[in-house]
Structure 1
Amino acid sequence: MQNCYSKIRALIKTTPTRWGTRIAQIDFICNSENALKSYIAYPDATSSTIKSLLSTPQFWQKLSGLWLFFKPIHTHQKMSESNGATINKVYPRWIDINRHMNEFQLEESGSPWWQEINSYCTSTQGVWNQRMEKQLLSIHLAAYILTPENSKTVILSHFQEQINDFIRAKYGENSSAVASYFEYVDQEGPFNILANFWKHYTYKPLLFWKSIRHYCPELSKLAITLLTTTANSVASERSLSIMNLLQNRLRSRMGVETMDRLCYIYINCRSIQKLNNNKINGELSSGRDDRDRER
């Protein structure tokens, strides 16, 4: 390493986990290409199989293809871990990843892995589409559309139906929120395209909804709630850690429902304890008041 790069560098293999794109592993190997090629020149360096593999151009071409494929996905994954990742950013991330997958599954992309990617995306089981539809919920779609700059974005009809059902389930079929939503999408009524808030607050969604909340209080309240709700992977990672802590060899036969309850209690134990203490203190205080009145 030192002879190739004029400084000491380490070839590090990251620890595999159940999640992640392994982009760091690919990075380390790609950045150490010259050193690895020099290393295999030594007679007793390594086995003949590894020497043959590292000396072939196809290996490095495929490794580079992996890096080009996984890098954008890894970037979006890191974005989902950010504290600034709100619900309205979930849908566009999935759309970007889906577009990236569609590009790389074509032979014209030049990717050495295009057949494998195509098989994953277009298999009879529909693995990729199933995963996207399972993780992309109506609340994410509603938050995306209620972001003013996305109000005129054309989305799939079944996605639009999910948004309509979400608002109806939240406020009821005959609520003002449903009517306000259609006015917002069509830019009619108080949402007329000539209104000043479109000009000043299209790219400032919170100010947009605060400026019009007097005309549509229910829809504005929903939009502000969604636009300020964090949607990162921290909660999922914490839940996985808690599951590993709770489910050991003595509890290996617990069902999903029991595990969910135990995780809920573990996460909220301080709040639950505080509520119980307040209830006990309230009962004690009420008892003292009753005794004082009797005297």
Structure 2
Amino acid sequence: MTTATAPSSPIVADWRDFYALTKPGVMKLVVFTGLAGMLAAPVVPHPVLGFAAILCIALAHGAAAALNQWYESDIDALMKRTADRPLPAGRMEREAALHFGVGLGVFSVVLMGLATNWLAAATLAAAILFYVGIYTVWLKRRTPQNIVIGGAAGAFPPVIGWAAATGDITTLPILLFALIFLWTPPHFWALSLWVNADYERAGVPMMTVVAGPKRTRRQILLYSLPMAAVAVAPWPLGLTGAFYGIAASVLSGIFVALAAAVSANRATDPAAMKPEKRLFAFSIFYLFAMFAALVIDARLFA
């Protein structure tokens, strides 16, 4: 006589696992740049509507992050820095992540349209679709240009914040988009240089894997130069004042100097990649400081 095997119980994820799906560490920068885009606009919305808009940006980021992890759970399991995420660690069913991401994304877009305007909602939807469809599904596993093109996904928040406040998109938010777009490759490649073994193990064609450290370091410097030019451009164009212009010039000069140090480094041992680690750490501070200077210039010196 045989005994039937009891079906395995479904995995019940903890709320902390759903929170982890939203990548809260990255969300801080996304929310901050979105808020800065809103506060730099010539018209600031009612605080309640402004809060709703920023909440929508945060929820949309969480949706895109959840869908990214749903699709990439296989390669996340192969990389040390991502192996403990809810899906590869076995703490959550893939379907739960999918439903969570789709639901969060739809809710954020609808709420943005109702709370502010449908241009902001459409831009928010475009950001989610770009990150999930273009970057995650199409680019990441196929080309070393994944971060270059995919960087556009993270460049949307200040444009969305501006559109939520004004109902239009003008030159300044486009320049802010370009700034983040050009900032993303140096920022991410600095990290990938010392975690390159993870990408090799997972088969992700990151620039460091396909082209090697020497070319990646050169590309970091080459992208930092137009990034610095775009960062300063709002000042001579009369879109910001001197406070922002001076801050952007100093911060961008430091960024380029750190990128030059990375370009000159020849280390292959991650322990010897101090210039790369310094640039990565500064790049995060750089973006926070740049957008803080933008808001201070707009609100206090306009």
The two structures have a TM-score, normalised by structure 2, of 0.26
Instruction: Give the number of the structure with larger relative contact order, counting CA–CA contacts within 8 Å between residues 6 or more apart.
Output: 2
The two structures have a TM-score, normalised by structure 1, of 0.26
In our comparison, the structure showing a higher alpha carbon Rg is: 1
